[in-house]
Amino acid sequence: MDNTNFLYEILHLFAGIGIFLTGCEIMSSNLEAVCSDRLKELLAKVSNNKIVGVLIGTLATIAISSSGATTVMAIGFVNANIITLNQAATIIFGGEIGTTLTGQLVALGMMGNSEIDLNFLFSSLAGFGVFITMFAKKEKVKLLGSVLTGIGLLFAGLDVMSGAMSEFSRSPVLKDAIASVNSSLLLIIFGAILTALIQSSTAITSISISMVAVGLITISQGIYLTLGANVGTCLTGMLAGMKSDGVNAKRTSLMQLIFNIGGVILVYVIDMIMKLLSGGTLSFGIIFENMFPGLPHTQLAMFHTIFNITSVIIVLPLTEKLVDLTKRIIKDEPPKEKKERFYFVDSNILSTPSIAVEQIKHEIVHMANIAMQNFNIAVDMIKTLNFDRQEELDDNEAELNFLNKELVELIIKLGQGQKMNKKDNRYLSSTYKTIADLERIGDYAINLSTYGRNLGEDRFSEEIINELEVMRNMINRLYMIIIESYKNDKRKITKQIKDLRDNILGLSNLMVKIYIRRLNENELTTVSSGEYLKICNDMRRVSEHLINLIDTDYILNH
């Protein structure tokens, strides 16, 4: 092979890698959009049962086709206090099992013979997927078409890579050079570096399977490259952990690193011992060659699967020990001065849009609770003229202002270039107005507290206090019904909500009429009369903003 042909085949290989990674991205993003509801259901089932956690991690990784994304998702959950470190560990373990599926698919595609080329058949799915996407009417069918396109491109890229590998395998010089790299440790390091650069252990494992299949490398070399890929994939988690403020996020990324490096060390040591005791006649490569004779691609894919499953089986009973170890390495941070923050959302969750949308909803519900808490504090101030909770009111208002600004920015980031189904996309579009409505409720609460202060010693009569209390109770009742509707995606004005809204409006109008009567009969002072009207008006406005939470043009025209 001359220099020109060698350069050509290098470009050929890079073209295959590009097509392969593009296929992985298209497949994973659309598969996630298809499975978004299932992912949300999986998250809701996270428990302290270790087996359940592993299953959730496995299924989530299959759904989003990336153990790195699953790790980042787990880090985000821990940082947002959604799950514990123990639960995060089991999800990460499951992710390591789920990521082996792509390797099995790659091996399956190479199992054809001269009569049936499975890789070619799978590659043709790209064309079928494009046609489905172009002509389908239903959104879910279009997404499934895109998934097929991604799978087809994945195998098309693999075919291009394999072609380049075959050409390389015909060069005795290159083959001898590669064969001379027999240092297991060097192969592990090389696999880790390549994975860190490409940020896809799936790609490196698939390339290794292709190289083994065409005879460019031995099964033993492929095993150590794959082990290196397992270490290299930790980079994604480490970067996510370092970017996060929470100490538990950093511990989660460290757990993945310890788990993967520990497994690699165990295999390395056992393999060295077997070679030493047998005089080189026994190793993991030889074992898998004997288990699956004549199928080099299957040998490596099965090693990857069995290795990851075995690692999980060994470590699962030691989960608590692993968590304790990370706690000893990364100590608890000293208490920080209280500052505004997200409670359910972490920037790392943005890599999994369907989950991020669900967590944004939790954050908005949390924001609604803060706004209504301030509303009730303010009404209590008006009733009692006791302002001891002013600091709490101000802290809540600062948090509302933070959420109003930062949550919108987070939602904008999530919506940029992310693949989501129509339901999630429609919900996300409605959140801007919802957040603005909640911020306005907070503003009205501040107004109400100010009106209370303006009263000075001019306390309202018991009759007026009772009227305001009736209005407050009706608004709180309206809020409880609306927030349940919001949480359950039943965002339509029901008869119960309509009746409550009408009653609040009717009471507000009645209070104004009574106000005029009291004014004529000199029952109100100059100060209290002005503040009374403002209070009635702002309490009614609070109810109107609550209605908006479930009636944003009936959620952007359905």
3-state secondary structure 425-478: HHHHHHHHHHHHHHHHHHHHHHHHHHHHHHHCCCCCCHHHHHHHHHHHHHHHHH
pLDDT above 60 for 519: yes
Angle between helical axes of 247-278 and 219-232 (0-180°, round to 10): 160
pLDDT above 80 for 82: no
Whether pTM exceeds 0.85: no
pLDDT > 90: what percent of the chain? 27
Strand spans (E) along 74-175: none
Distances (CA, A) of 511 to 171, 534, 537: 93, 12, 10
pLDDT at 65: 66
pLDDT at 273: 93
Report the range of poorest mean pLDDT among 51-55, 71-75, 222-226, 523-527.
523-527
**Could you tell me how many residues make up the chain?**
558
Mean pLDDT, all residues of the chain: 83
For residues 123 and 110, what is the distance between their CA atoms, to the nearest angstrom? 12
pLDDT above 80 for 77: no
pLDDT tens digits for range 355-380: 788 888 889 999 999 999 999 999 99
pLDDT above 90 for 71: no
The CATH architecture to which 349-557 belongs is Up-down Bundle (1.20)
Report the range of poorest mean pLDDT among 123-127, 369-373, 432-436.
123-127
Name the more confident of 319 and 513: 319
pLDDT above 80 for 237: no
Under 8 Å between Cβ of 70 and 92 = yes
Domain boundaries, the chain: 3-329, 349-557
pLDDT at 175: 65
pLDDT at 557: 47
> Within 10 Å of residue 123's Cβ, how many Cβ atoms?
23
Report the range of poorest mean pLDDT among 29-33, 215-219, 281-285, 394-398.
29-33
pLDDT tens digits for range 276-301: 988 888 899 999 999 999 888 899 99
What is the mean pLDDT of the segment spanning 433-440?
93
pLDDT confidence bin for 44, thresholds 50/70/90 = low
Under 8 Å between Cβ of 221 and 303 = no
